[in-house]
Amino acid sequence: MDSRTEPKQESARALKERLPQPDSIARGLGWYSIALGLAELAAPRMMARVAGVETGPGTMRFYGLRELACGVGILASRDPRPFLWARVGGDALDLGTLALSSNKWNARDRQRAAAAAVNVVCVTALDVYAANCAESAPRLPSADYSDRTGFSSSPEQMRGAALADFETPRDMRTPDALAPYTRGDQSSTTGQRLRAGSATSAA
């Protein structure tokens, strides 16, 4: 290998490590989708004015529900690919809405619609990148533990096996001073001594 290519490869690897990973981008898109969906649900008229479009609040709330569903799906699913591609489809729908419903007679609304379209295009590029990376990433098969019980032997053989060599720890034993009052073999003798002492004191 040419020694001149090694620094180039090392710099490429370092640049790749510094760039955001596809999983991080997917999670960011999920949170972005949830935030956008909540904004469209809570303030549909304001979001329409910001985007420079003339749509009813019902349409904007429908878009908010779509964004919420995609965001929750990306964050909660083990395989976010379907939800990422759903975001790509939603981005195309947003671009169509901006093209058809923007107020073309107001210069300020046209500027707002153009800025919103640029933002949607940038987010669409991230959606496509994250979806393609998620498809190319290897998927590990899920482990099957249905044939495992957690016991080295059958339950009948394991029952009572721990008591065979069990020894009570020192800090869990009865103190020596209280042993005569707790041991069964000496309880009767102790009781006799106590009764004898009480009879003597009474006499």
For the stretch 169-181, pLDDT in tens is 877 877 777 777 6
Domain ranges of the chain: 19-136
| pLDDT tens profile 128-140 | 999 888 877 565 5
Q: What is the mean pLDDT of residues 80-87?
A: 92
Over the chain, what is the mean pLDDT?
79
Burial label for 63, CB within 10 Å (0-12, 13-18, 19+), is: buried
* Angle between helix 22-42 and 57-76 (nearest 10): 150
**Cβ-Cβ contacts under 8 Å for 158 (sequence gap 6 or more):** 151, 152
Among the listed residues 79, 37, 95, the one whose alpha carbon sits nearest the alpha carbon of residue 61: 37
Please list the helix, strand and coil fractions of the chain in percent, rounded to the nearest 5, in that order: 75, 0, 25
Task: Check if the beta carbon of residue 40 is closer than 8 Å to that of residue 104.
Answer: no
Buried b / exposed e along 22-52 (16+ C-beta atoms within 10 A): beebbbebbebbbebbebbbeebeebbeebb
Q: What is the mean pLDDT of residues 139-161?
A: 71
- Is the model's pLDDT at 37 over the cut of 90? yes
* pTM for the structure as a whole: 0.58
Q: Which of 6-15, 138-147, 192-201 is predicted with the least confidence, judged by mean pLDDT?
A: 192-201
Task: Check if the beta carbon of residue 72 is closer than 8 Å to that of residue 65.
Answer: no
- Is the model's pLDDT at 1 over the cut of 50? no
Q: What is the mean pLDDT of residues 107-121?
A: 89
